[in-house]
Structure 1
Amino acid sequence: MAEESLNYLKPENHQIILDMTFGAGGHSRKILKAAPNIKLLALDRDPKAFSFAKELAEEYPSQVIPLLGRFSELPNLLASHNIKQNSIDCILFDFGCSSMQFDEADRGFSVSKNGPLDMRMDGNRYPGNLYIRI
């Protein structure tokens, strides 16, 4: 799906592209390779995905800005980096959970592995999680 996204987005140098669902960064890496002089904003609510975005920012220090938060927090996150909302050229959404959430039973998303059923992206857990036994 990353190739299809690139074909649709057609990233160009000097654009600001916002990946609203960064995940493991597969789409973002392809975008950076397709247009090496862009600024990429990598947003995700999942702390694990945020750590991947920080690693990508180390590889592309002047191009990638990792953002940890919810969609509703985007205006404040942009303002904290002095980025105006109307300066964003492209926005990418890849809705849904990724294999990153399903593959680890402790994340709370898996229905095929024993673990807590607690599908929150931010990792905050309530005491007394419901456990699924398969």
Structure 2
Amino acid sequence: MSSTEPAGPALHVPVLLDRVTELLALPLSAPGAVLVDCTLGLAGHSLALLGAHPQVRLIGLDRDPDARAEATARIAAAGHADRATVVPAVFDELPDVLDRLGVAEVQGVLFDLGVSSLQLDRPTRGFSYSADAPLDMRMDPSGPRTAADVVNTYSRTELARVLRVYGEERFAARIAAAIERERTREPFTGTGRLAEVVRAAIPAATRRTGGHPAKRTFQALRIEVNDELGALTRALPAAIDALAVGGRVVVITFHSLEDRIVKQTLAAEATDRTPPEMPVPMPEHAPVLRLVTRGGEAPGEDEVAVNPRAASARVRAAERIRRAA
């Protein structure tokens, strides 16, 4: 936890904080620099960056009203309220947010993907399989679809697809069949019963390794409920477009599906697109980005020891080197 972050009711240890701070140090040192934190959460990264760069203006996006309230309180307690604008929005709404605020370009964009500490640590939100709670999983509690809706109304084939694609669950078909069988007896309403049905559907030998048997299923349902991969696919190109020359986008992912989208999107913009039949590179097809990280960088052993949730995290960053033609 950053020394600039005031204590709050929820324990929050920002992942890869030192590396994120280092990656954004250069662009945020520019006069009048604007940082967009697309996943504000409890504002751990943003507080450290506001403290390190007294001239930076923060625009923080989050769909979760609990997170926005807590982040706003923390930012105010740290004395940065006059430099921060907290916006209720999903990160794929970035272009509209910047347009409403009259911001033409920004120097830094940060994504810290996945579920936040606040959401995990409040069982009533239904993200965790460790305590029985309503089967919800909406990052925005006013959202139209809950995990219970998915579990109780999707066909067995569609459920298996969600679990296989978003959870990378090799027993997706077995789990979907078990869910279909159990929901005919009684619809699912809580996380506890679902976790137990998933556990029973997975072979005993497999259950003995790899953590909680329901982990992948809960991940898949959360991604489906919140359209996380769709939002990322739309948001990342918009974030790149919003960058000033010299600005950087930094993305922290927690599973391979997210990381693959980030890797491919950044790599595409860092590649010369001159048609192969042309004899020389054409300036209008030159790369827009320069990759700053070498692949997806992982946290060190010391950080994982302090914060086990960081174990699967990877960070990628890129810098805008020219305006698009």
**What is residue 110 of structure 1 aligned with on the other side?**
128
Q: Is 1:78 the counterpart of 2:102 in the alignment? A: no
Structure 2: gaps (5+ residues): 1-15, 149-188, 197-325
Residues of 2 paired with 1:37 and 1:57: CA distance? 16
Alignment partners' CA distance in 2, 1:54 and 1:78: 19
Aligned to 1:47: 65
- 1:14 alignment partner in structure 2: 32
State the TM-score, normalized to the length of structure 2: 0.38
| Deviation readout 1:32-72 (Å, 9 max, x if unpaired) | 11101110111111111111343325732331111111122
Name the counterpart of 1:25: 43
Q: Judge conservation of contact 1:116–1:132 (CA < 8 Å) in 2.
A: yes
TM-score, length basis structure 1: 0.87
Gaps (5+ residues) in structure 1?
Answer: none
Q: Percent identity of the aligned residues?
A: 34
The Cα RMSD (Å) is 2.2
Is the radius of gyration larger for structure 1 or structure 2?
2
Task: Verify: 1:38 aligned to 2:56, yes or no.
Answer: yes
Q: What residue number does 2:19 align with?
A: 4
* Aligned match of 2:86: 66
Q: How far apart, in 1, do the equivalents of 2:66 and 2:117 lie?
A: 13
Alpha-carbon shift at residue 30 of structure 1 (Å): 0.3
Whether the 8 Å contact between 1:20 and 1:42 is mirrored in structure 2 is yes
Does structure 1 retain, via aligned residues, the 8 Å contact 2:126–2:134?
yes
Write 1 or 2 for the structure with the bigger share of strand: 1
- Match of 2:138, as an amino acid? R
Matched, 1:132 2:191: yes
Length, aligned pairs only: 132
Q: Deviations over 1:72-111 (max 9, x none)?
A: 2222222222222xx1111011011122111111112011
Letter of the 1:123 counterpart = P
State the AA in 1 paired with 2:48: K
Q: Residues of 1 paired with 2:20 and 2:129: CA distance?
A: 29
CA contact (8 A) 1:110 1:117 kept: no
SS at match of 2:141: coil
Higher helix share: 2
Instruction: Letter of the 1:31 partner, please give it.
Output: L
Residue 91 (str. 1) matches residue 150 (str. 2) = no
In terms of mean alpha carbon deviation, does 13-22 or 47-56 score higher? 47-56
Counterpart code for 1:73: E
Q: Distance in 2 between matches of 1:62 and 1:74?
A: 21
Higher relative CO (Cα under 8 Å, sequence separation at least 6) belongs to: 1
